[in-house]
Structure 1
Amino acid sequence: MLKQVLEVIDLIDRGTIDGKQVIDLFKDFPLVTAITETVQGDEGTTDFVKIIIQGKNGKLSKGDAPTLGVIGRLGGIGARPSNIGMVSDADGAVAAIAVALKLSLMSIYDDRLEGDVIVTTHICPDAPSQPHEPVDFMGSPVDMDQMNEYEVVKEADAILSIDTTKGNNIINHRGYAISPTVKEGYILRVSQDLLNCMEVSSGTHAKTFPISQQDITPYSNDLFHINSILQPATATNAPVVGVAITTETAVPGCGTGASHEIDITEASRFVIEVAKGYTSNKMSFYDEKEFEQIISLYGKMNHFQYDPNLNK
């Protein structure tokens, strides 16, 4: 994975980067479809990117293997002209694109996955920043509804949302961590399958991070959110798990020189292994029977997926 991570960083760490240059990485892979679209927001434009890697028995091949969605979640990969270079917030995009590149290579080397994998992110080298405690975040030229529209694909049966999660003082280790599974307004227990996968792929104890009920509600409600890592869960009923790239200290999302290639690689390797296991039905994000029991006991919680002020 390190080779793919370095290749992606070398590509996107430039002020002239756009979505077209990213999808050109995938033009020679026969089983991969990569598209980009420029979207206008209130504070500029960004290029959304979607990369679809076709599995042997996935829906695109008229099969029934599960589809995994992988989102590189971020505000922007750069904060130019105020900050020169790739910002810390770009780590999610780097990891997602590197995962897509590795899976694309596997697809031509007789190592295709069973199911399809759909990778989405966006490329903006000149995004705005925004105030946040304890350190500033990156903003985005587009709003969260636009981001979810282009990144949360309806075909995904489960989603991993990769996001730089360094602008806080509740996660105090360097590397990556995973969240509990979020589904239809519920914060479920952390998936044991994902914990096992994390320990095998990293060779260390699994790391998790806490989330609050506020974190799985829409950004538009003005409640405090740790960041946007679990915003995809407001736009789908598929189970969503956050993959947070973390640090020991609070690092601003708009800080440059703050991306660590080895940490991104570790997170990317984990995503690859989850993709292998999930699309071959060897791994689960949540206990389906237990979720049915929760619904029967306590009812649905979908109202947490919406902003009541906007959905009256």
Structure 2
Amino acid sequence: MYLELLQPMPRLTWFTSICRVVWIAWLIKLGYDVMYEIFAETIERLDYIVGSIFFVFKMLTNIVAYVESICKTKHCQQLQRLEIEVDALLRKHIDNTEALERKIWLKVFHSMLLQFVYDILQLVLAYKCYMSPVFYYVLPMLAIERARYAQISLTIERQNVRARGLIALLRLLVKANRPKHKYTSDVWQPYAAWEYERMNFLRLLQGRLCELYQCVGDCYGWSIIVLLFTTFFTVVANIFWCIEILNRGFRFGQFMYDALTMLRLSTLAVTLLITAEKTRQYVSAQSFKGSIG
């Protein structure tokens, strides 16, 4: 359901549309209450200021995800069209594309399973040892953030799988046309008609993949920036609260609650950054193999 809430507008069902209306109404009401409390009361404690800014960042992340899913409809449609074109090209040379899809979903399943473990531990701590004053408000917003992280990571990983398919085809072409003997100095030239066709096919496929990666940035660029910035502030804020707990008297429940809050989003951010780093490596490999060809 969370992923459906983050889809572009033309794909919405009536149930998802109602959920979106409730979502934005809840965010507006919550934002008004928080802003009124911040400006109406005199704030003296540093931890209260940090908590208020932390809560504002959570709302901002949800609002950006909501607005981006509306404004980036055309970019998402172009992304889906390019994915269909690239898959059609890859199926001509790669047979087991279904196995690749299963590997992608298996990675997402493992990530979500880890998040589910975090949820169980934090719920136990909330009801046994310590509960944050804004626990019930932050929980739905955290779910939206987590769904957005999963959606972006899944989309990038899907393009990485396609890039790995292209690299495999490039390796086959280079291997088939390397010098027959290690002591010869023959330089391969694509004289045969099939060699020209294969190179043009790979050039077309690489161009489509570059367009796909650009579409990912166009579709989710706002969310990526806000999510990483919010996660950074979340980690810093919870480190601050953990230090305060240690200085004012160690309380195990509150310390573990803040530590788990920090881990939940930081794990997703690390997963996204690792996936993006793999993208950079695959693009570099494509360029290197292409220059050899």
TM-score normalised by length of structure 1: 0.22
Where relative contact order (Cα < 8 A, 6+ residues apart) is larger, the structure is: 2
Larger strand proportion, structure 1 or 2? 1
Larger helix proportion, structure 1 or 2? 2
TM-score normalised by length of structure 2: 0.23
